[in-house]
Amino acid sequence: MSVASHTVPSLASLDHTHAAHARSWVDSGAGHGDFPLQNLPLGVMEIDGTPRVVVAIGEHMVDLPAARDHQALGGLTPATVAALGQPDLNAWMALSAAERTALRHAVFALLSADSDFARRPAPVRDAVVRPRDEGRSVLPARIGDYTDFYAGIHHATNAGRFFRPDMPLLPNYKHVPIGYHGRSSTIEISGSPVHRPQGQVRPQSDAPPVFQHSRKLDFELELAIWISGGNPRGQPIAMDQAETAIAGFGLLNDWSARDIQAWEYQPLGPFLAKNFLSTVSPWVVTSDAMAPFRAMPMARGADDPQPLPYLQGAQGSGLGLDIALEVTLSTEAMRARGLEPQRLSRTNAAFLWWTPAQLLAHHTSGGCALRPGDLFGTGTISGERPDSLGSLLELTQGGRHALTLASGEERLFLQAGDELRITGRCERKGFQPIGLGVCSGRVLD
């Protein structure tokens, strides 16, 4: 599901790190998968029990503090050098956009085929560039605040239809970015176990509620947006500065208990139905890496309102994202029978009604302070077709029509042993494709 016809040159000028022909000396898997030399996402890996800031390259990683200690990274400011020694990416996120770009250039130089570093002694190379399976991914940042938006317009329409058949989209939707605050204490890294929550539900509307394990456990396919430069309370970030306040992107699964949600959500929104777990992918794919894969904002119809001025900068509404997204399901029975995971949905980040810059400008427009390490979810991203929906709520039409899997099993909602995998991939003619990695989780009842 490509929206390549919509793609446009990015705000950020492209540079040598985006050249399609560039290759790394690191021999690490066919084509380096999601993480070729043009990507260089940052993450945090626990290595020998200690969290370290790393960059992914193919199936390897660059241990940035080790690279720094071996004088393998040039042109960094003292603040950048200090950030590499931290146990999380918060200090890196607090750097200026120019400092983050300079680090990208330094890592690119270290890894590119013509690098001087490639000719250094093997023990030095091996201390700096290590197989990724020597570490264990942990959360990239201490998340101060987590905000979940609702910017996927098809999801908002589909979900709204279950509650309000006559008015799926509320009157405010196309005017104001809808979002709500989420829970940062239960955001965990991809792969973390998914415990089915208990909660108060009311299965029959004429009977009292009961407390039981959720029977409507669902996933939500979202993008993660990592926030960099913060703003003091009372000082909004204007549209034209908004992109520099974004550190990068990832994948997010906003696990949801639909039966708990239906009973608790009025009038103040979802609460326990969402805060038992949200899972993020380990890698922060930087704004720089994403530059070739930006797209025009989602097209407005003739009857649709234009964004208010505070949601339009000199570059208009800012740029959207062209990221092909996919979610697969593998059940216990499928794995036992050696069946491949089954694709539930293919969609694209282009179905976001608001651009990342608009989400950020809106969030701060009333003076709300953002801090480096804050996280946004975009909201569930669904396309228009039945095979492009970002949640089981939509795929099963509100739990009414079961999916039949290749194993012959049926699913309305998730069962014990079910494993969800969300992936994201960026392709554009003339550029090396990159990926966002994986956001996965298995349900343990």
Residues catalogued as catalytic: 155
Tell whether omega for the bond before 267 is within 30 degrees of 0, i.e. cis. Answer: yes
The least CB distance from residue 275 to its own copies, in Å, is 4
CA dist., res. 34 & res. 61, Å (int): 13
Pairing of strands 324-330, 419-426: antiparallel
Residue with smaller CB distance to its own copies, 54 or 242: 242
Q: How far, in Å, CA of 327 to CA of 392, rounded?
A: 11
CA distance 225 to 112: 28
Residue 269 or 341 having the CB closest to its own copies = 269
Q: Which is nearer to its own copies, 269 or 417 (by Cβ)?
A: 269
Residue 66 or 246 with smaller CB distance to its own copies: 246
CA distance 389 to 30: 31
Q: Kindly state the smallest distance separating residue 53's Cβ from its own copies, in Å.
A: 22
Task: Work out how close the CB of 290 gets to its own copies at its nearest, in angstroms, rounded to a whole number.
Answer: 25
Q: Which are the contacts of 30, defined by CB distance < 8 A and separation ≥ 6? A: none
**CA torsion through residues 150, 153, 155, 159, sign:** positive
Neighbours of 386 (CB within 10 A): 10
Which residues would be at the binding site for its own copies (CB under 8 A)?
A: 144-145, 150, 160, 163, 170, 172, 175-176, 178-186, 188, 195, 197-200, 202, 208-211, 233-234, 236, 257, 260, 263-273, 275-277, 305, 308-310, 362-363, 365-371, 374
CB neighbourhood size of 418 (10 A): 23
Nearer to its own copies, 98 or 210 (CB): 210
CB of 295 to its own copies, least distance (A): 25
b/e sequence 264-294, b meaning 16+ C-beta within 10 Å: beeeebbebbbbbbbbbbbbbbbbbbbbbbb
137 or 231: CB nearest its own copies: 231
Instruction: Report, in Å, the least distance between residue 252 CB and its own copies.
Output: 16
d(CA 396, CA 377): 23
* Phi, psi (degrees; rounded to nearest 5) at 275: -90, 10
CB 170, min distance to its own copies, A: 5
